[in-house]
Structures are given as C-alpha cells and as structure tokens.
Chain A
C-alpha cells in the first residue's frame, strides 16, 4: 500500500494560540481515517493547513510524493485533493448542477462544460440529489446542502477527500444514508479523512483514528485501540463507561 498523504511535524499558531503542534501521520491509499477531538482541538485547522488555506509555521505536507506545503488552495485542488466545509458554503445563486460542475470543471481533471455537466449528473445520482439538479443551491435544506458539499468535492474525482463534519445536524436516518455514501466513495478508491463528533458513526466507518487535543496528537490507532486508550478517555470521552458502550455499539 503506498502512502498518499504524509503530514510531517506540522505546527500552526494563531498569535499566541498553539493550534497544531508537530502533527505527524502517514495516510495509505484507500483508507478512511477518522480525525476526532474536543471542540477547538485543531481538527479543521489541520484540514485548512493540508488544503492550503493556511501555511504552517513548521512542517511539511507531502501529497502523492510532492511537497505541497504553502501551495494555494486551487493549486492543491488541481493536484487531486478536495474537501467539504464544516459550515456549508453553497454557491447560492447557482443551480445544484452548476455547483457540482464547478468541482468537475476546475478540480483535478479540468473538464470542459458539457463533460462537467455529465459528471455532475452522475455524482448527484450517487449522493441522492438528482431531483434537485435544477434548483438553486440556496433553496436546499441543511442535509441536502451537506450532500451538495460532498458532491462538489467528488466531482473533481479527487485522490483524497477531506470531510469536515458532514454528519453534524443530520437525523439518524440521514446519518445512515450518509455513511453508506461515504463507504461507496471509499469503494471507488478515494481515500478519505473525516472529522466527526458522532462517535458511533466514526468508530463504525474509519479504519484508523487520530485524536487531537489542544493541537496535540494524543493518540492514533484502530477504533478499538482508541476507545481503550486512557489518555483519550480522559481528554475526550470523559466517562470510561461511555467508551465501553460505544465499543459495544461498534461490534
């Protein structure tokens, strides 16, 4: 298995705040990596550093063998890295299809419009928004906007997809639907890093989990290992019995 993304000693500060401290991990191709941690742990900051929104003070990001540290977000996107936003950012005055076409047109594959429209329709089918294609993106509800975020990212046919809390605010049946979609994406050969607060969901779908706390990487391992790790229980889960219950839900 080859390494798709390698994050090496990444440190990011905002003024006096240490948002990330020497975060280091390798991500093999085809895996779903879960990224968890309490609020303010630096999860979204890590995404922003990986996709070029922020430049880290220290450390390097190696993507498909190329150092992409300090590249602009669009340069990172062209290399096959796509993401969704925690707070959805639909292009409100464009239709759902046009939103997805932006991903296909300007992402890794740089398609012309007519081909992008075909890809958009395929992807909208996959994420279950096909009937909404002609609607303005601003008129969707939150769950649909989350799916739209994902569709836009997927339309670029990325190698790596960063999902930032795509399950937040969804009801249980929507969560189930979304998890199935995520697995379907992985089965297409796309590597995924996902940030999530819904513990049972992320334990269920990830092969490996990294835990951040105050910008530090406090644990890394399989979902099983993470739920048994005393530091994680202390910092994040709080209640050891909760961990046990979650573990039972997984199995």
Chain B
C-alpha cells in the first residue's frame, strides 16, 4: 500500500478540501455558487486528463458525456420520478456506455483525426437531441418545482448538489491518482509515448484506450446530472457547448497534462480568471464583448503549447526535480 502514501496525493486532496470547505463553513450561498463552478471545472478537467493527459488522445468532445449524461439523469428524475442519486448514477452509466461504443469505433484513429471526430460526435449528438421529442427537442426539459420537495425545497437541494459535486471531485482525484499509479496508467502512458512500441511490448492498446475513455466519461456524465438538476432546465445548447470542451483542454494544459494535481490547479486558475473577466466590462470600440474569457483561453492555449507544453505542474517537476516527491 506504499503507493497510497505519495505526498502528492495528500497535497492535491488538501487543496481540494480548502477550495470546497469555505462555502460549507460560511454558509454563504454566493460563495457556494462560485465554488460550484470551480468544482465543475475541476471534474471536467481532471476526467478529461485521463484520456488527454495519460493516454495522449486529444478529445474536443468531452462535453458530450456531460450533456448526454445530464439529459438522461434529468429525464429519469423528471419523467420516472427517480431520486437524485439514482439519476446521477444513470447519467454516469449512460456516458460510460456511450464512451464504450464510441471507443471501439473511433479510438483506432490517431492524432488530429481522432480530435476531429470527437467534435463531429458532439455536434451530431446536439443535433440529435435537438430533434428528439422525448428529451423535449430544442426546448429541452424543465424540471417541475416539486422535484426539489423531497430534499427540503429548492434552497436545500442546492446545498445537496454542492455536497455531491464535492464528493464527485474527490472521487475524480482519487480515480486520477489510482490510474496514474496503476498498471493501467503505465500502459496508458506507454501508449501516449509511442503506441506502436507499446503494442510490441504487449500493451493491448485497443482495450486499454477504451477503458481509459470509459473512465474519463463516467464522471462528467454524473456531473451533468448534478448541474442540470441544480439549474432546473436542460437545453441542447447548454448541454453540448463545444467551447466548454475547449476550455477543459485549456485547463488541463494550463495545470499540466498527465499529472494528478495539474488539472485541479488549471481548472481553479482558469475559473478564477474567467470570473474576473466576466465581472469586468470589456469593450472594444464601445461594444461590450460577450464571452471574453474565450479570447483569453485561446491566447493562453497558444502560449502554453508554445512555451510550457508540460503545463504548470509539469514545468515545476522538470525545473525542480526535488518537487517530484510532493507533486504528482
């Protein structure tokens, strides 16, 4: 059990705890909402890291799992009267199943081809859901107010979703750490470095890649249910927002792909920056710019890829080899 004692895990968990505990201590609803979006980003980034960082497959369609999982969960809660936890599990299962089916088909593509197909899948799914009557087609599903009753009303339900998203982040960090330290992780990283050489050494790449894809899909699927349950409505344009995927890539790259701590730091940093930019009024030639954070995201991504491809945590590890003992 030596591997559970890596100080890097405790450091990561401590940071997560510090981020998530303030709203609980202060009972401050506004702070809770801000922290919720940070935790949301952490789960997206950290789960994406399993396929992007460990396995080396760039997916622009990560949000498809969040969207479809969210839809399934909200549908089950709304139409079948399922309790929230069951809906969350269903969302995760749906996303995992989708990843399994997709994985078999598209993970044989490499590099840019895989990346392109993931965009296509997200767009196809959005178009499908926009026309799928049981999911309310383009207007989506609106949860009836009464679904919050069993949880002590809407205000209490918001706290419940917050606790659940904290739990999800925690599970995600533990999952990421387990993958990193396991034989599965070694196989995935071998695939990332040189897939052909890995196969020659006996890594069953198709199986390993599919497993990584499924693991990376389950948590965003569950996350989607939590977010849209809290939100009260789910619409195709919110569920399958392509730029959410791209932002998740920026977070992973910013913090350090292929590390446990990196996506957490990247997500936190990016969301703080985003919050700052959203509350500032940016105007060019007298016109307010919507989604200014996306401009910054694009520039950030460019700078990272050019100058610090390893991301913050990776850069620290390279620069100060002693830090490897505490950073993972």
A residues neighboring B (CB under 8 Å)? 51, 53, 72-74, 77-78, 82-83, 85, 89-94, 98, 101-103, 105-108, 112-113, 116, 152-153, 156
**Do A101 and B186 touch across chains, with their CB atoms under 8 A apart?**
yes
Tell me, in angstroms, the Cα distance from A101 to B202 when the chains sit together: 12
Q: Which residue of B lies closest to A153 (CB)?
A: B201
Contacts of A78 in B (CB 8 A): 202
Tell me, in angstroms, the Cα distance from A105 to B198 when the chains sit together: 11
Question: Considering only CB atoms and an 8 Å cut-off, how many residues of chain B contact the other chain?
Answer: 20
As a 0/1 sequence over residues 203 to 222 of chain B, the CB contacts with chain A under 8 angstroms (1 = contact) are 11100000000000000000
Q: Which residue of A lies closest to B324 (CB)?
A: A134
- The segment from B120-128, B170-178, B188-196 that touches chain A is B188-196
Tell me, in angstroms, the Cα distance from A94 to B197 when the chains sit together: 13
Tell me, in angstroms, the Cα distance from A93 to B192 when the chains sit together: 9
**How distant is B294 from chain A, measured CB to nearest CB, in Å?**
30
Contacts of B190 in A (CB 8 A): 91, 94, 102, 106
**Do B203 and A93 touch across chains, with their CB atoms under 8 A apart?**
no
Assess whether B69 is interfacial by the CB under 8 Å rule.
no
**Do A106 and B187 touch across chains, with their CB atoms under 8 A apart?**
yes
Tell me, in angstroms, the Cα distance from A28 to B199 when the chains sit together: 26
**How distant is B315 from chain A, measured CB to nearest CB, in Å?**
13
Q: Among the listed B192, B197, B201, B204, which residue makes an inter-chain contact with A156, where contact means beta carbons less than 8 Å apart?
A: B201
Pull 18 A–B residue pairs with CB atoms less than 8 Å apart, ordered by A: A74-B202, A74-B204, A74-B205, A77-B202, A85-B200, A91-B194, A91-B198, A92-B193, A93-B258, A94-B190, A98-B186, A103-B201, A105-B183, A106-B201, A106-B203, A113-B182, A113-B186, A116-B183
**How distant is B5 from chain A, measured CB to nearest CB, in Å?**
14
- Known A-B contacts A91-B194, A93-B258; A152 and B201 likewise in contact (beta carbons under 8 Å): yes
- Known A-B contacts A74-B203, A78-B202, A156-B202; A85 and B197 likewise in contact (beta carbons under 8 Å): yes
Tell me, in angstroms, the Cα distance from A93 to B183 when the chains sit together: 16
Which of B186, B190, B197, B201 has the most chain A CB atoms inside 10 A of its CB? B201
Contacts of A83 in B (CB 8 A): 200
Contacts of A82 in B (CB 8 A): 200-201
**Do A102 and B258 touch across chains, with their CB atoms under 8 A apart?**
no
Tell me, in angstroms, the Cα distance from A90 to B197 when the chains sit together: 8
Q: Which residue of B lies closest to A113 (CB)?
A: B183
- Known A-B contacts A106-B201, A107-B202, A156-B201; A89 and B189 likewise in contact (beta carbons under 8 Å): no
